[in-house]
Every structure is written in C-alpha cells, then in structure tokens.
Structure 1
Amino acid sequence: MAGSGQGRHGEFVECRLRHRRRYRLVRRPGSHANSPALGCSFPASFCQGGQTEEVPKTPGGQLLRQQRVVRPRTMEMNPRGLIRDFLFALCVFQVFSVMAGQGAGGEIPGGSALPKLGQVPHYVGSADCRECHRDQHSSWHRSYHRTMTQLPSRESIKADFNNVSLTNNGVRFTLFQKTHEFWVRMARIGAPGIQATGEASAEFPIGLVTGSHHMQVFWVGDEEAQCQVGFPFTWLIPEKKWVPRNSTFIRPPHAQHRSETWNQVCARCHSTAPQPNLDRGARRWKTQVEELGISCEACHGPGEKHSHLFRERAKAGLTGPVAEPHIINPEKLSPVRASQICGNCHSMKWWESATGWPVREFPYRPGDDLEATTPIIRPKEIDRQPWLKRVLERNPELLADFFWPDGMVRVSGRDYNGLIESPCYKSGQFSCMSCHSMHDSEPASQLARHRTDQRACLQCHPKFGAEEALVAHTRHRAGSSGSQCYDCHMPHTSYGVLKAIRSHQVSSPSVTVSKATGRPNACNLCHLDKTLEWTAEHLERWYGQRKPELSGEERTVADSVRTALSGDAGQRVLWAWHLGWEPARKASGGDWMVPVLGQMLDDSYAAVRCVAERSLRRIGAQWIPKEYEFSRESPERSSALPWVLEQWEAGKSARGVAPGATLMTGSTNQVRESMDGLVRRRNERDVRLRE
C-alpha cells in the first residue's frame, strides 16, 4: 500500500502492484470496493437485470489465492460465423497476455480496467435516496433496470462457473470459481492464423456481468486500454446453458464477430450518469459512472441539491412541500418531456461522435428537451433531418438494421421510436407512463398494475368499455385474444433477446402494408392457418380496406408457413416465435405447425434455430431430438427435421386433419416436398438486426 485517504464518497486506497502499476480503489461508506458500471448503446435488449440483495466484492480487491488444479467438464461450442472469425479470441488473448504477467504471485489484476464508481459531480447515488424514499427504493431495487449490470457474485451470476470448458476456434476457456470470485482460464491450443503454442494459458477475473432476466453477458478487463471487453460466450437463463455470443443475434452466419467494448457500446444506457472519457490519442478510457445499472438519478436527475436541501430542512425541523425541490418527478412533466426520459435510452438517436460520445458524456438530463441534444432518427422525416442523409451516405444499411421499410422500428429497446409515431402520442395526452410504471408494476413487463389489460386503452377510448361496443368493433368474442386491443394494434413485430416483442407504434392491421413492408400483420400472426387473402377479405368486409392484388401463394398458402420458410431471417424469426405463441396456437388449432418448426431447426441463422427450438418445446419437449443443439454446426442439425417428421407421423392418427392452407396434409413425403419448395425460394439476403 502506498497510501490512503478520504474522498467525497468515502475512503480510497492507492497501491502499487507488481511491475510498478498503480491502482486506486475507492470504497464508499458501508459499500464494496471500487465498482464498475454498465450501459449499452443498444439498450434494453439482451442486458436485462434481476435481483440482488447482497453487495458483492469487486474482483480487483482480493489477494490472489494459490492456483488449484481442476479437471473441467467439456462442452464444445463451434458455430459458423463465430468460429470463422478468430479475431475476437485473438484480441482477448492479447489482453490476457498483458494481464497474466501482472497476476502471478501478486494481487488480482483488473481493478484499473473497471469504471470509477460514485465520483460524478452533483450525483449522490440510490443509497442516499433510500433514507427518505424507502418504498420507491424497494420497488426500484427489485426491477430489472437496477441490475442492468452488476459486479460478479454468487447472487448476481446465474451462469455455470463450475469448471466448465468452452472451446472457440482453437481457444479453450475454462470457467471456475475461487471462493467468491469468478474466473476464466484461457489456453491457446491452436487456431487458424495462430501458431499453436501448447497449453500457454492465462487466468483473469470476470469484471462485470450484465443481465439476469433473459441472458447473462460477461466482461473482462483490458488494463492497457482501461476498458471492459466482451467474453465471447453468453449464458441463456431459460435453457441454463452457454452458447456463443454471436448465436444470440440476428446476424449473417458468415459475418465476422467483432469484440465489444462495454465503455463504448453499453455504458450509454445501462449505467447512471456515464462519462466515457475516451482519450483517442492515447487509446485509453477513463470512464466514470455514478452507479451500476439504471438507478434513481437516471430518471429523476442529479440529486445532490435535492438531498442537501432536505437534509438541511430536517436539521431545522422544517416539513412540508417546497417551491423548488431540485429534483425531477416525471409524473409532473408534460407527456412529451416525461416520455423523453425513457427515450434517452429506449430510442435510436443521433449525435456527433467526433466531439460527443464516447469522448464525453451526453448532455441530456431528465426534464430537458431530448431533441435539442440527441435528435431521434425518424425515417419518415428524413427530409427534415439533413444529418441523417449524411449518416446514410456512410452507412446505407443503417435504417434496415433498425427499421421496417415504412419506418416502423423493428428491434427491441427502441420503443420510444415507435411511441412518437403513434397517433395516441401525437394527440398530446399519451406518454410511456400511460401504461408503464417503475414503482407500481411487476418487473417482467413494468406495466402499471391497473394497466395490464384493456384498461390501458380505455383511458382514451372509453366507449369500448361496453362489451357490445367492443365486440362490434373487434368482431371477436369479448375476453378472447382477438378482442384485446394490443393484440391487434400492438402486435409482436419487433425482435430482440431471442423473442418477438410488441410494437410500440400503435397501428391497424393491413394486408397492403404487409405486402409493401414484409412485416406480418396482426390477423395472420394470430390466425396462423390462414392466408393473406383470407385476411384481406375480412378487412375489406369489416373495415372497408381495399383488397390488394395477391399472388397465387398468397391466396392459397397460410402466411405463417409461406413466410416462415421462404422469408428473410428477420421475418423467419418472428414467425418462429409466433408458431409457439399460445394464443395463436389456440386460434389456429392442433399441432400442425410442428413440421414447420422442425424445418426451422436447420435454419442458417442460429438465432432463428434457437427461437424455433423454444417454440417446439412449448408445444412439447418430445419434439426436440435429444442431441440437438441450435448453436452447433453438427450432424444433429440436418437430421432434426427427419426425426421430427417421424415423431409427427407416428401420432398422426390421433390428430385431426390439418387446415389445407398450412400444407401439412397428405403423407410425410408430401409435407416434406411442400416445405422444400418454399425453402428453395427462401430470401437469403443478409439480415442484421441491431438490438
């Protein structure tokens, strides 16, 4: 130890480790050592939180214990795309090589690579808020916002670190624990373009973990650049298994996987008050954040003045309201300004990267006008956004990565883009909080307790509170999924975290729009056994929509089957999810969709395969071959469909006849031939959906 002292947020200790490196570890009063924080340029997608009560210890604050010899369990991960791109593993190995020299025989390396916590001016942290706002703190504490990023601990990590071995492109990663710490041992055993050097290995601690709802992503430190680099495997929480990170996204199978830097890609939206502080010349980060995850001040603004004011009032024995509380309450803002607080993260926005992020922080604070600092990308208004034209000249695929052709956002975490294009919002009375609540909701959806059903819509459309009026409008039985406003007007046409997600752009079903954009319409997403012509005829008869010209297949083949097998990857993954969606299966009858999902188990996109497997499991686990693994390039993939068809044929006598438009009639060979015909015409264009 070289010295110690007292800082604004508590004690700090400054020490010199081996090789003359200096590290400053900060401890806030009553809390753990210097902590990292998280954020994400593509917010609220895979990085969704969980619940943790115990404050963990940072891996940078413990002495290195004697290395134990362990025998790892082996699990091969070898997906196309990720394996072809060995650059990420090589990059990480170079990081580990630096770290290995510092770790042997001394303190654990990694502390300097973590963002500094609790040193942002004018912020005080959620613990300060708890003193007066215990109920609000408690409801926030159990939310997934809080756990967007955590320090690694037995409470925060759901993944298996019990001596698991993962192999990627000739590099072996062994995951193990040292008491309360989580570690990775990497051995370079030979890879394309890398000369094998035996079992040369390095060990390093996990620095950060993001997610505890759908999946968990892990980060390790690059001490030279002082940043966090993504680990190339992800833990899927429902399946309780490791998969290559690249397999969890809709990305072209041949695309190179590039390493992610937490400080740049994630810190924007998954931490509170992030200050990236990239020194481009030195290629080093000096990142600071106030707190891990999304805490109180992310929505209410910096709390220093507010906290000081009420502490002084308490000392003076003063109570009651004040004229200026120096804090933002979103409920007291206009619908526009209140929604912009959410939109700061849940949107696709623009800024000048040369002088803004990641060189310095975003200037926006809750209550400000978001459009004044980081305007929202709106494809429908490109003529009024000249900067967007310049962006598209450099990156012409940008809009396709985030939006449907008509400008509707199509990826998760960008709900604000959909909201502001909705007629409800444009009326001036509708905001995010019309449906959602941070403090009065269940964490999974954050729908306010009194807004989980039709009541959310009846705020503005009270006439449909009468059953007779509702049925006359929907043409569906009251209480059925077809009479749920959001199933028709907010269908699951966005995608992220390996599932379909409700669109937040309120719209009405239209076959004309479906043909023009390729986006499935709400009618066919529920009535899986029906054709586009069936939908067009009903919309014409019920609502006066003009029926568009349709092709032969659009008139005779169920839209779900046709597009699930011949559409592009973005369309296929949505249909894979809906084919297992219980309300749609109930409306469509039977298990006739099993062969279609069986075909999708061999899709060229790993994420499509994953979603198809999940849908099949919802129908019945017996439909999945025992050795099937969606993330592998293995014989089980190509043999999955014959196996599924064999099981399906065996139980055919116990089922009714499948609807003719589904093509699932006749013999197994006829079914296979019908599906093969659609697959041969599949749209194989490269699709990348940037969550």
Structure 2
Amino acid sequence: MAWLPVDDEHVDGDFNNSTFEHRGRKTRFFKDGDRYFVETSDIDGGSRVLEVKGVAGISPLQQYLIETEPGRLQSLDIAWDQENDRWYHLYSDQALAPNDGYHWSGPYKNWNSRCAECHATGFQKNYDPRTRRYSSTQSEIGVGCEACHGPGEAHLAWANGASSSELSVFEGTDDQGLIVGFKDAFPHTEIEQCAACHSRREPNQDGNPLPGTPFHDSYRLALLRDGLYHADGQIHDEVYVYGSFLQSKMYAEGVRCTDCHEPHSGQLKAEGNGVCTQCHSQVGNDTFPSLTLKRYDSPDHHFHEAGTAGAQCVSCHMIERTYMGIDGRRDHSFRVPRPDLSASLGTPNACTDCHTDKPATWAAEELKMRFPDSAHRSSHFASVFAPARRGVTGLGEQLLNIALQETLPGIVRASAINLYAQHSGSEAPSDAFSLLSDSDPLVRAAAVSLTATLPASTQVQLLSKLLEDPLRSVRIATARQLLGVSLRGEEQGIQDAVQNANDEWRTALSSKLDYPETHMVIAGTALTLRNPKAAIRAFQEATQLDPQLSDAWIMQIRLFMALQDYTNAQITLQRAKKLIPEDVRLADFERLLKGR
C-alpha cells in the first residue's frame, strides 16, 4: 500500500469541497465525477487546479500526488491524518516561497525522483535533462512480490508443480524458482534487500536494481554526518533504519529484519516485549548462542511497573522520533541509554525523553546506582565526533584510532575517516592505509580520501586494487579520488581500470541529473579538471533546479569574474539578489563589480 490508485476505495482524505489554509495560502479539495482535484494558491503563478494522480501510504498519514505538468508528480505537503481525520501541513513552521527548491512543487519533493523508486515495482525514472521532463514507468504501483523476490515466472511454474529449472527462462533461480530466496545462511542478502528502500542513500543507477543486487553496488549510503545523526549515532533526521541497524550488536551477530518483522503483513512477529523476548530471555535462542541468558522483561531489569510505557523494551533501547508531523519512527541501533554522554555532549537519551523534568545528570547517576558494574560507561566515539563536527582541530590521531578499531561498526569507522579527511591537511600515517583493504565496503570507500596528500604515483599505487573492487560504490569513490591525478607513465591496465570506474561514476551522475546537488558535483569535477565554462553551466543548472542554492550562485559570480566576464557576473548577481537576498556575500561582490 505504499502507492495506491486514485479511487473511492483508496482515497481517505476529505475531498468533499473541504478547504485548508496554511499561513495565508488556501487549498481546496474536491471531486469531479470519479476524479480528484486540488485547487491551491500555494504554487508558482497564482491559484491553479491540479489533478490528484496518486495516493501514497495508508498509516498514520496519507499523501496525495499532484501532477503539476505532464509526467511530473509532486508530493503535496498537506496530508491527511488518518487517526484524527483532518488535513494538516507536514511542516507547519514553514512558509516557503513557491519557487523554493524545498516547496512542495520543487525538486526535493518530486515523486518521480525522490520517492517512487521505493513505492513501486520495476520503476524507471526516465528523466530527460534537456527538457527537464519525466516519462516514468513502473511494472506496478505499490511494492509487489517481484519488488523483493525478482521476476516471478519461474516461481509460478514451480507453484504449479513443474520443474522451475526446466521451464524458467531465468538463470540462477533457487529450488522454488526464486532469484532471491533469503536463505537462513545468508542474512545479509535479506538485510540489503530491505535496506534498498529503508536507508538514507543515493542511487547509482536509474530505477530499481534487480532484487539480490548487493546494496553497495546500487547505492551510496549516507554516513553518520551532522544533521542526519547525533554525534553518538542516534537518529536525528529521517534516515530510514539501515544506517542505525548497522551500528547495532544485533546486526553484528546476524539478526535479520524478518527475525522481528513479518514482511508480507508489515506487522511485528509478536506484540509488545514479546518481539524482544524471542531471544532476550532466560531461555535465549539457539540461533544466537552469544546471548546472555537472563530475564529482561522484569522490573529487576527495567525498574518500571509491568505493563507501563517505561517497561517496554523499545522505550529504553529504541527511542522514537516523529517525522512528517505525526509519523513516529524508532531508532534501530538498539543502544543502551547513555545519559552521561547527554550531560557532556548534549546528545539525547531515552531516560530524559520520558522524564522530561529531570536533567541528564540525574539519569546518569540513577543508572550508575542501578547498574554499578555496567560496561556502558566507557569511552565513546561521540566524545571525538562531537568536537570534530564543531571544527576542533588536533583530533586526527583519535579519529584514525576509531577508524582502525575493527570491533566498531563499519559505518562508525567510515564516518571517522570522513571527519579526519575534513579536518586534517597532513599526510596520514602509514598504518592508516590498511583501511583500504578493510572487509567493510563503507570503510574502503571512505579510506580512499586518506591518500589525498600523497604524490600522484603513490596514490595510484595504493588505489589501483580498489578500481576493481567487487562493489561499485567503492570503485566510484576511488574514481572520484583519482580525478585530476596524472596517469602518465602508468601501465595500460591501470589506465583502463580508471576509465571503467569513471564510466560507472558518470553513469551514476547521469541517473541523478534531476538532483540540484548532482550538478554541484559536476561543477566541482569541472573545476578540478580546470574547465570553468563547464563548471558555470553546471552551477547554472543547479540554480535552475533549486533557485535558493546560494553556493551555486556565488560560484557563478566568482567564475564569471575570474574569466573577466563582468557583464554576466553583474547579471548573475542581480538575479541572485532577487532569489537569495539574505546572503551577505552578495554585498561583497556588488562592491567589487561597482569598481569595474
């Protein structure tokens, strides 16, 4: 039910000529025969009547997809609250101008680009960058069987009693005719299939990859960066589970999504604490022999009255954050509360989430008293990440020590490398380059940045193996790092490998040409290759897609001035002043241009 047709059976919102007003802008919802429409003044060019072309979701809210031009679907920011039967605005504190990139009609709220891939089966975006139009297709709306299991012809043949190996036109099916069968011996296959949608990531290709494709071939996962995660790895923005789960001991021990979730019904395997006590109990679970056998669902452990919210495992170990106004999502890192970190770093903790009248220091003392021998008061990577995020220098050695700790989750270690790369201009010590051959692809991809200060020949020598890494995300990261590095004198095999990795990178960028941020990357690439005119074109496309992208405006002005094209610099400056008047940097350029 991630994507539903527009009809009386599936539209739950009030389209009986109802109206909703948000910060002076009115929207009316009505029907004309069997068709659903929205009339709104919250759009560029004045009030318009637009047709609803899709329904997104079923609980706790329902969104409506509006066709603003042929083929382009946008997610309306006014949604239907299923529980309270009311219209509400997803971002009640915002009053964005209709030409803002984050307005509901802008590129960041475009369904074809940002949403549909995870709400459809066999989706292809089909964006034409010349016309900026979409011709998207899908095998079916909603998440069908083949979205996870792949082509079903062989499975149907098996279900009808015939031999799938004889009748299937597909190679590589299992004994039930499935390309992806999610066998117990391979938990990562299942986890990565779920992660394709349940993660904060950017794609390396257009549309849905074939189920069973490794995650790091298809996507580049967002690491623990400021704004997405707190310094200790807790969720901050909407990050969709996978990046959190990778931090957990449960992931490290082979727990998979379907150990807790029933994928076909969307329900948990048990109610309340029952889903946790499948494993965490005096009996344990033979699948996970490292479990401590202990009664956890008891006041002796959680110190709350049985049956209350405080006695629920998720209250302490999966804190909830609300997104889209009313949609509660739980942190899947399954962490032990650390109010001591809250006291020193300002990170959240489960204790004062509920006990809002108490300080973090109180909670830290309570836990110290109740669990005097706990190992969960030792040093934490957050104590280094937090100051590094603030720009504190001199933390390079500590960040590399975190990256080199193989007992830490790969996403933490990769994030430490990224922070090191941002703050250290010195050459990394030789032992850091062992990270280039780490078993975790996130670490390998991040580690290529450690070679940035090395001579070109040394960079190529260290990175040559990663050009043929089994996973595309690592190969692309390597190609990006070698951009602009001279290959003169290198053997032909290395030059070919660089070319192949660059082709994969170009393909990945081509699949995201409707992203303003993609054109920022293209512009940066052009600057590295000393092609300022190509950079200007890319920055111009970025501001065409997102008029409020201030850095792209600033770079256009700078480049025009560097080329001594003061006429276009002045024209660009005046356009920028209308769209980003609050940017104080524009005044400096205005003074410089007046002197010309």
If the TM-score is normalised by the length of the shorter chain, which range does it land in? 0.5 to 0.7
Which residue is 1:212 aligned to? 58
Provide the C-alpha distance between the structure 2 equivalents of 1:305 and 1:292, rounded to a whole number of angstroms: 22
Provide the C-alpha distance between the structure 2 equivalents of 1:448 and 1:538, rounded to a whole number of angstroms: 31
Correspondence for 1:521 among 349, 357, 366: 349
- Whether contact under 8 Å (1:161, 1:175) holds in the other structure is yes
Provide the C-alpha distance between the structure 1 equivalents of 2:95 and 2:240, rounded to a whole number of angstroms: 16
Q: What SS class does the counterpart of residue 464 from structure 1 fall into?
A: coil
| 1:333–1:405 Cα change, 3 Å | same
- Whether contact under 8 Å (2:96, 2:102) holds in the other structure is no
Correspondence for 1:421 among 215, 238, 247: 247
Which residue is 2:543 aligned to? none
- Whether contact under 8 Å (1:410, 1:503) holds in the other structure is no
* Structure 1 residue 491 corresponds to structure 2 residue 319: yes
Q: What SS class does the counterpart of residue 124 from structure 2 fall into?
A: coil
- Whether contact under 8 Å (2:199, 2:242) holds in the other structure is yes
| 1:250–1:332 Cα change, 3 Å | farther
Correspondence for 1:275 among 105, 113, 124: 124
Provide the C-alpha distance between the structure 2 equivalents of 1:202 and 1:475, rounded to a whole number of angstroms: 57
Q: What SS class does the counterpart of residue 118 from structure 2 fall into?
A: coil
- Whether contact under 8 Å (2:317, 2:335) holds in the other structure is yes
Residues 434-460 of structure 1: CA distance to partner in whole angstroms, max 9, x if unpaired? Answer: 211124x5x5x5444694353353445
Which residue is 2:29 aligned to? 175
| 1:167–1:297 Cα change, 3 Å | same
| 1:496–1:408 Cα change, 3 Å | farther
Structure with more of its chain in helix, by fraction? 2
| 1:506–1:167 Cα change, 3 Å | closer
Which residue is 2:7 aligned to? 153
Q: What SS class does the counterpart of residue 465 from structure 1 fall into?
A: coil
| 1:247–1:330 Cα change, 3 Å | farther
* Structure 1 residue 233 corresponds to structure 2 residue 78: yes
Post-superposition shift, 1:482? 4.3
* Structure 1 residue 295 corresponds to structure 2 residue 144: yes
Correspondence for 1:455 among 256, 273, 278: 278
| 1:315–1:423 Cα change, 3 Å | closer
AA partner of residue 361 (structure 1): G
| 1:503–1:153 Cα change, 3 Å | same
Which residue is 1:243 aligned to? 88
Q: What SS class does the counterpart of residue 282 from structure 1 fall into?
A: coil
- Whether contact under 8 Å (1:218, 1:231) holds in the other structure is yes
Pick 1 or 2: higher relative contact order, CA cutoff 8 A, min separation 6.
Answer: 1
Provide the C-alpha distance between the structure 2 equivalents of 1:258 and 1:453, rounded to a whole number of angstroms: 39
| 1:408–1:263 Cα change, 3 Å | same
Provide the C-alpha distance between the structure 1 equivalents of 2:370 and 2:330, rounded to a whole number of angstroms: 24
- Whether contact under 8 Å (2:36, 2:51) holds in the other structure is yes
Post-superposition shift, 1:419? 0.9
Unaligned residue ranges in structure 2 (runs of 5+): 168-172, 379-596
Which residue is 1:608 aligned to? none
* Structure 1 residue 504 corresponds to structure 2 residue 329: no
TM superposition score normalised by structure 2:
0.52
AA partner of residue 183 (structure 1): F
Which residue is 1:56 aligned to? none
| 1:250–1:223 Cα change, 3 Å | closer
Which residue is 1:438 aligned to? 263
Post-superposition shift, 1:343? 0.7
Provide the C-alpha distance between the structure 2 equivalents of 1:241 and 1:473, rounded to a whole number of angstroms: 41
Provide the C-alpha distance between the structure 2 equivalents of 1:229 and 1:182, rounded to a whole number of angstroms: 15
Provide the C-alpha distance between the structure 2 equivalents of 1:414 and 1:346, rounded to a whole number of angstroms: 5
Which residue is 1:540 aligned to? 368
Correspondence for 2:294 among 456, 464, 488: 464
* Structure 1 residue 313 corresponds to structure 2 residue 162: yes
| 1:447–1:413 Cα change, 3 Å | farther
Post-superposition shift, 1:153? 1.2
Which residue is 1:348 aligned to? 200
| 1:170–1:407 Cα change, 3 Å | closer
- Whether contact under 8 Å (1:418, 1:505) holds in the other structure is yes
Unaligned residue ranges in structure 1 (runs of 5+): 1-146, 380-398, 549-691
| 1:255–1:305 Cα change, 3 Å | closer
Post-superposition shift, 1:505? 0.4
| 1:231–1:488 Cα change, 3 Å | closer
Q: What SS class does the counterpart of residue 65 from structure 2 fall into?
A: strand
Count how many residue pairs are aligned between Structure 1 and Structure 2. 358
AA partner of residue 7 (structure 2): S
- Whether contact under 8 Å (2:156, 2:177) holds in the other structure is no
Which residue is 1:401 aligned to? 227
AA partner of residue 431 (structure 1): R
Residues 90-131 of structure 1: CA distance to partner in whole angstroms, max 9, x if unpaired? Answer: xxxxxxxxxxxxxxxxxxxxxxxxxxxxxxxxxxxxxxxxxx
AA partner of residue 191 (structure 2): S
Provide the C-alpha distance between the structure 2 equivalents of 1:491 and 1:422, rounded to a whole number of angstroms: 14
Provide the C-alpha distance between the structure 2 equivalents of 1:251 and 1:277, rounded to a whole number of angstroms: 28
| 1:531–1:543 Cα change, 3 Å | same
AA partner of residue 542 (structure 1): R
AA partner of residue 313 (structure 1): A
AA partner of residue 201 (structure 2): K
Which residue is 1:284 aligned to? 133
Residues 206-234 of structure 1: CA distance to partner in whole angstroms, max 9, x if unpaired? Answer: 1111122122211222444x221233522
Residues 407-452 of structure 1: CA distance to partner in whole angstroms, max 9, x if unpaired? Answer: 333344611111111012112x21111211124x5x5x54446943
| 1:508–1:183 Cα change, 3 Å | same
| 1:457–1:497 Cα change, 3 Å | farther
Residues 351-403 of structure 1: CA distance to partner in whole angstroms, max 9, x if unpaired? Answer: 45xxx3xxx2243x333321233142233xxxxxxxxxxxxxxxxxxx33321
| 1:401–1:268 Cα change, 3 Å | farther
Q: What SS class does the counterpart of residue 229 from structure 1 fall into?
A: strand
| 1:536–1:282 Cα change, 3 Å | same
| 1:341–1:516 Cα change, 3 Å | farther
Which residue is 1:627 aligned to? none
Q: Percent identity?
A: 25
Provide the C-alpha distance between the structure 1 equivalents of 2:228 and 2:182, rounded to a whole number of angstroms: 28
- Whether contact under 8 Å (1:410, 1:494) holds in the other structure is no
Post-superposition shift, 1:345? 0.6
* Structure 1 residue 367 corresponds to structure 2 residue 212: yes
| 1:209–1:495 Cα change, 3 Å | closer
Provide the C-alpha distance between the structure 2 equivalents of 1:289 and 1:503, rounded to a whole number of angstroms: 31
| 1:158–1:367 Cα change, 3 Å | same
| 1:496–1:519 Cα change, 3 Å | farther
AA partner of residue 219 (structure 1): L
Provide the C-alpha distance between the structure 1 equivalents of 2:201 and 2:179, rounded to a whole number of angstroms: 25
| 1:437–1:204 Cα change, 3 Å | same
Post-superposition shift, 1:152? 1.2
Residues 489-516 of structure 1: CA distance to partner in whole angstroms, max 9, x if unpaired? Answer: 2222565552543211011111222235
Provide the C-alpha distance between the structure 2 equivalents of 1:170 and 1:491, rounded to a whole number of angstroms: 36
- Whether contact under 8 Å (1:378, 1:407) holds in the other structure is no
| 1:306–1:159 Cα change, 3 Å | same
AA partner of residue 162 (structure 2): R
AA partner of residue 304 (structure 1): E
Give the superposed CA RMSD: 3.9
